Amino acid sequence: MTHLRYLTAGESHGPSLTAILEGMPSGLALSIADINHQLARRQKGYGRGGRMKIETDEVEITSGVRHALTLGSPISLLIQNRDWKNWQEEMSVASSAVPPKRVVTRPRPGHADLVGGIKYDFRDLRNVLERASARETTARVACGAIARRLLEEFDIHLAGHVIAVGNIRSQAPTATAMEILAKTEDSPLRCLDSQAEARMLALVDEAKKKGDSLGGIFEIVVDGLPPGLGSYVQWDRKLDGKLAQAILSIQAVKGVDLTVGEGELVCLIGANGA
């Protein structure tokens, strides 16, 4: 089996997001529902922005699958942006005699706006934020949903849960991936500790009223992995390094702890974490 790799493309307020997943073996049972289920899970979560109320993400598989089985060729995915209807003129591919109205000239702290504008010589920072936006993770989740289907064939399961928001930490004991999925699907913050979660929700509401934000910590549990993944013989084949890069590439993630247990990661609140 070849290595899996994927590419994503698309702007936050463009017409769509695109992903290409290469290296998936042939003969894997895959349905659109498998991917849409994970896209719907992505849109859950307490305190999410208004964009989540606009989008109802559904995938279109445009290649690499026939009669609900993968072909072994690249799988291409398309996800329409519903908010595009409100941005067609502003984000048009064609040139326009009318200057853009939603120009961004003030970089936001903690975002890619300033360095992106300097690197690519943009005066309108919308050219940066449209691609740097966390909306891009929609395409990643679609690719990840297919990867999860492959892992299921080997009885490998994974799940994530929140263990801290601000200065409030969950006191829930360690759980398996399947236990986490069963207990957190209807949880507003995907937290195993219901008492801590109630305090977390109140803290989110307080930060929202102040126009501030909160840091948090989530844990990913993977069950059923065989030994020997990755390799110590070269720096770029080490599993810890690959995992750290994947997690740190997610927008707003600022730290990764690969130790067993809670580790020493800390949460920063609002401007303190910018």
Domains of the chain: 1-98+134-153 (3.60.150.10), 154-274 (3.60.150.10)
Give the three-class secondary structure for 62: strand
Q: How many residues appear in the chain? A: 274
Q: How far apart are CA 210 and CA 203, in angstroms?
A: 11
Instruction: Output phi, psi for 165, to 5 deg.
Output: -135, 120
If we measure between CA atoms, which residue out of 31, 23, 28, 91 comes closest to residue 59? Answer: 31
What is the pLDDT at residue 243? 93
pLDDT tens-place string over residues 78-113 = 999 999 999 999 999 998 888 889 999 999 988 999
Beta strands per DSSP E along the chain: 5-9, 16-22, 59-63, 65-66, 69-70, 75-80, 157-165, 168-169, 216-223
- Asked if 79 and 39 touch (Cβ cutoff 8 Å), the reply is yes
Q: Give me the chain's average pLDDT, please.
A: 91
- Residue 46 pLDDT: 84
pLDDT score, position 261: 55
Whether 223 contacts 176, CB under 8 Å: yes
